[in-house]
Amino acid sequence: MKRTTFSLLAVIGSAAILGAIADPAAQDADLRRHSIPLSAARLIIEYNASGQDVGLQAFVDGEPWTRFQILAPDRRKIFDVRGKGHLGMLGLTELFVESHEPVVPDEL
Is 27 part of a structural domain of the chain? yes
- Is 78 in contact with 56 (CB distance < 8 Å)? no
pLDDT, mean of residues 71-85: 87
Is 8 part of a structural domain of the chain? yes
Residue 79's pLDDT is what? 87
Is 15 part of a structural domain of the chain? yes
Residue 66's pLDDT is what? 86
Residue 51's pLDDT is what? 83
In which domain, by residue range, is 91 found?
Answer: 2-98
Task: Give the predicted TM-score (pTM) of the model.
Answer: 0.60
How far, in Å, CA of 68 to CA of 82, rounded?
A: 6
Is 55 part of a structural domain of the chain? yes
Is 103 part of a structural domain of the chain? no
Is 49 part of a structural domain of the chain? yes
The amino acid that residue 28 corresponds to is D
Is 105 part of a structural domain of the chain? no
CB atoms within 10 A of CB 105: 7
How far, in Å, CA of 30 to CA of 21, rounded?
A: 9
Is 62 part of a structural domain of the chain? yes
The total number of structural domains that make up the chain = 1
Residue 62, strand partner residues: 38
Residue 97's pLDDT is what? 92
CB atoms within 10 A of CB 38: 18
The segment with the largest mean pLDDT, out of 3-12, 20-29, 61-70, is 61-70
Range in 19-28, 73-82, 93-102 the model is least confident about: 19-28
- Is 66 in contact with 35 (CB distance < 8 Å)? no
Residue 69's pLDDT is what? 85
Residue 89 exposed, middle or buried by CB count within 10 Å (0-12, 13-18, 19+): exposed
